[in-house]
């Protein structure tokens, strides 16, 4: 039985109460988070109040998530609870409203334990750009957990919570899930509302979740997904029953393996682990088909135009006037803007704002932004053609396991190339999942599965079938068992 189903069963049988589960989780955070720095805010009182309410609902019979604790990435606005986005800019920001995703999970009866650390404004692949310091990987605390949703991933891997939310703009759910040995799921662009989720790159950002299995991710997506009037890019189409799609039967499913994702740069043992994962799928009756996604090498360059351009525009709202950080004693209005933004944003965020501003500036727009939008279509068309032949695509999630803290921090381009296998799905808007598939140097690595637009059920079922055949997703880091 999956972790969330097991907790739901224990709650329903009154073997444990939501208040007890919450106290247990808070105690675990207290005991372990000093080593991990996975949370920036713990909201114990609020969580216990939610748990009491959940217990009252449970007495009358409730949904599959009622009374189960989770952690939200600190990019989701939570009414009355500081939402920092990992930035000094929002260190004092207490939103007066909830993000739609938070609202949905609250309505499902889930309990918010706290807010997870993250790369500043979700810009990073190692969780080292946070104003609140780096998060450490529970498998080895000298290593990064990945990013940008590094706090969410580390928290679930260490058992601080059975589930967490995240956002994925270029791999920020799938990459940390792989490096922390858990399951991380990014739905199709537009499937979950972006309202109340602090914007980084609006044409790429998508909310998703972390848990111990694809089955648990299906339960979470069921609650998170749905149309929202308040998000102009939320997609208005019915939400299917994802749990019903988890038959575990993948006989005859065509699994595409893109040669470009197994080319130079992929670490040899990571490759072997992913290839073994693909063989498991074949062993369950899937048909393996070699495919080509010829524009794969253009994805990272495309992303580093589109994402910074959208970020420079989105982050122009942080001006020191209406909320967030304001510099001391501004000499005039211009000084207020310049210093509030110069002091409030960290280095990586400033770099990306400047790249985006440059790419959008007069005389460069066609060469950068327009060109990138055209290449983006070529990348999406690669997938469109591939999905005429196959049902899902399997690949590594990353080129290798987690790297050491500080190892890539001074070299932005090397850091960016980390996301080479995850970025294409964001550019195309596709759903993707990372499932643990083995270990390299005692650090976990993941297999990524991608499916066509809105085929989350098929995608989750493929990962579920894999997890029925393997036990990588059940491994826990030493010192964080149970």
Partner 1 sequence: MSLKPEQVRKVAFLARLRLDEDRVPEYANELSGILGLVDQLERADTDGVEPMAHPLDLAARLRVDAVSEGDQRDAFQAIAPATEGGLYLVPRVIE
**Residues annotated as catalytic (active site), given as ranges:** 73, 148, 172
- Per-residue binding string, partner 1, 192-231, x by CB under 8 A, is -----------xx------------------------x--
**Closest distance to partner 1 from the beta carbon of 225 (Å):** 15
**Closest distance to partner 1 from the beta carbon of 268 (Å):** 25
Query: Among residues 116 and 355, whose Cβ is nearest to partner 1?
Result: 355
- Per-residue binding string, partner 1, 48-87, x by CB under 8 A, is ----------------------------------------
**Closest distance to partner 1 from the beta carbon of 47 (Å):** 23
- The answer to whether the Cα torsion of 19, 24, 30, 32 is positive or negative is negative
- Binders of partner 1 among residues 392 to 421 (CB under 8 A) are 411-413, 416
* Residue from 12, 48, 94, 245 binding partner 1 (CB under 8 A): 94
* Residue from 151, 429, 436, 477 binding partner 1 (CB under 8 A): 429
For residue 336, state whether it binds partner 1 (rule: CB under 8 A). Answer: yes
Do the beta carbons of residue 137 and residue 179 sit within 8 Å?
yes
**Closest distance to partner 1 from the beta carbon of 226 (Å):** 15
Do the beta carbons of residue 159 and residue 21 sit within 8 Å?
no
Do the beta carbons of residue 111 and residue 70 sit within 8 Å?
yes
For residue 190, state whether it binds partner 1 (rule: CB under 8 A). Answer: yes
**Closest distance to partner 1 from the beta carbon of 48 (Å):** 25
Q: Find the angle CA(192)-CA(193)-CA(194) to the nearest 5 degrees.
A: 120
C-alpha 130/C-alpha 74 separation (Å) is: 11
C-alpha 181/C-alpha 444 separation (Å) is: 5
Nearby residues of 73 by Cβ (< 8 Å), 6 or more positions away: 115, 116, 118, 149, 151, 152, 164, 165, 166, 167
> How far from the centroid of its chain's Cα atoms is residue 20's Cα?
28
Q: Could you tell me the two tokens for 178? A: 């792989």
For residue 343, state whether it binds partner 1 (rule: CB under 8 A). Answer: yes
Do the beta carbons of residue 267 and residue 303 sit within 8 Å?
no
Query: Among residues 57 and 202, whose Cβ is nearest to partner 1?
Result: 202
C-alpha 455/C-alpha 432 separation (Å) is: 10
C-alpha 261/C-alpha 238 separation (Å) is: 33
For residue 371, state whether it binds partner 1 (rule: CB under 8 A). Answer: yes
For residue 442, state whether it binds partner 1 (rule: CB under 8 A). Answer: no
Do the beta carbons of residue 256 and residue 390 sit within 8 Å?
yes
Query: Among residues 369 and 466, whose Cβ is nearest to partner 1?
Result: 369
* Residue from 252, 322, 363, 388 binding partner 1 (CB under 8 A): 322
Q: For residue 336, with 0-12 CB atoms within 10 Å meaning exposed, 13-18 middle and 19 or more buried, which class applies?
A: middle
**132 dihedral zone (left: phi>0; alpha: psi -120 to 50; beta):** alpha
Using CB under 8 A, which of the segments 108-116, 208-216, 320-328, 471-479 binds partner 1? 320-328
* Residue from 57, 357, 468, 470 binding partner 1 (CB under 8 A): 357
Cis peptide before 148 (omega within 30 of 0): yes
Query: Among residues 80 and 283, whose Cβ is nearest to partner 1?
Result: 80
- The answer to whether the Cα torsion of 295, 301, 304, 306 is positive or negative is negative
Q: Please choose, from the candidates 104, 110, 287, the residue with its C-alpha nearest in 3D space to the C-alpha of residue 196.
A: 104
* Residue from 133, 354, 406, 442 binding partner 1 (CB under 8 A): 354
**Closest distance to partner 1 from the beta carbon of 68 (Å):** 30
For residue 377, state whether it binds partner 1 (rule: CB under 8 A). Answer: yes
Do the beta carbons of residue 448 and residue 396 sit within 8 Å?
yes
Query: Among residues 2 and 78, whose Cβ is nearest to partner 1?
Result: 78
For residue 326, state whether it binds partner 1 (rule: CB under 8 A). Answer: yes
For residue 341, state whether it binds partner 1 (rule: CB under 8 A). Answer: yes
* Residue from 93, 269, 289, 468 binding partner 1 (CB under 8 A): 93
- Binders of partner 1 among residues 265 to 284 (CB under 8 A) are none
Q: Please choose, from the candidates 447, 451, 450, 454, the residue with its C-alpha nearest in 3D space to the C-alpha of residue 473.
A: 447
* Residue from 374, 404, 442, 474 binding partner 1 (CB under 8 A): 374
**Closest distance to partner 1 from the beta carbon of 150 (Å):** 22
Do the beta carbons of residue 216 and residue 3 sit within 8 Å?
yes
The site that binds partner 1 (CB under 8 A) totals a number of residues, namely 74
Nearby residues of 245 by Cβ (< 8 Å), 6 or more positions away: 218, 456, 457, 458, 460, 461
For residue 239, state whether it binds partner 1 (rule: CB under 8 A). Answer: no
For residue 439, state whether it binds partner 1 (rule: CB under 8 A). Answer: no
């Amino acid at each position: 039985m999956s972790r969330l189903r097991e907790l739901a069963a224990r709650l329903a049988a009154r073997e444990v109460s939501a208040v007890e589960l919450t106290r247990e989780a808070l105690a675990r955070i207290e005991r372990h988070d000093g080593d991990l720095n996975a949370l920036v805010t713990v909201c114990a009182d609020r969580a216990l109040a939610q748990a009491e309410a959940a217990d009252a609902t449970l007495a009358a019979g409730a949904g599959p998530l009622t009374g189960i604790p989770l952690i939200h990435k600190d990019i989701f606005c939570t009414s009355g609870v500081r939402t920092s986005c990992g930035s000094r800019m929002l260190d004092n920001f207490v939103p007066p409203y909830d993000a739609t995703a938070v609202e949905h999970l609250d309505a499902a009866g889930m309990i918010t334990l706290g807010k997870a650390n993250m790369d500043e404004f979700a810009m990073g692949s190692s969780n080292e750009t946070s104003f609140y310091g780096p998060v450490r990987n529970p498998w080895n605390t000298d290593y990064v957990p990945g990013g940008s949703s590094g706090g969410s991933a580390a928290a679930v891997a260490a058992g601080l919570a059975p589930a967490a939310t995240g956002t994925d703009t270029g791999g920020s759910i799938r990459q940390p899930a792989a490096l922390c040995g858990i399951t991380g799921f990014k739905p199709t662009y537009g499937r979950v509302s972006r309202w109340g989720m602090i914007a980084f790159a609006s044409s790429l950002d998508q909310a998703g979740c972390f848990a111990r299995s694809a089955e648990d991710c299906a339960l979470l997506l069921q609650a998170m997904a749905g149309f929202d009037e308040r998000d102009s890019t939320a997609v208005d189409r019915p939400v299917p029953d994802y749990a019903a799609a988890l038959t575990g039967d993948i006989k005859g499913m065509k699994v595409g393996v893109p040669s470009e994702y197994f080319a130079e740069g992929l670490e040899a043992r990571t490759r072997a682990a992913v290839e073994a994962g693909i063989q498991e799928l074949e062993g369950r009756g899937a048909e393996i088909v070699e495919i080509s996604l010829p524009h794969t090498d253009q994805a990272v360059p495309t992303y580093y135009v589109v994402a910074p351009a959208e970020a420079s525009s989105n982050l122009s709202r942080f001006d020191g006037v209406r909320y967030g950080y304001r510099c001391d004693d501004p000499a005039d209005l211009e000084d207020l803007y310049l210093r509030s933004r110069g002091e409030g944003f960290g280095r990586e965020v400033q770099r990306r704002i400047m790249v985006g501003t440059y790419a959008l500036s007069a005389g460069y727009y066609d060469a950068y932004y327009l060109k990138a939008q055209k290449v983006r279509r070529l990348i999406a068309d690669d997938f469109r053609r591939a999905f005429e032949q196959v049902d899902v695509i399997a690949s590594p999630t990353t080129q290798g396991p987690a790297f050491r803290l500080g190892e890539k921090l001074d070299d932005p381009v090397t850091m960016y190339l980390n996301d080479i296998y995850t970025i294409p799905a964001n550019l195309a808007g596709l759903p993707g999942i990372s499932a643990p598939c083995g270990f390299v140097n005692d650090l976990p690595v993941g297999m990524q599965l991608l499916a066509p637009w809105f085929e989350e059920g098929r995608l989750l079922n493929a990962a579920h079938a894999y997890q029925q055949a393997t036990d990588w997703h059940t491994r826990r880091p030493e010192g964080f068992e149970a």
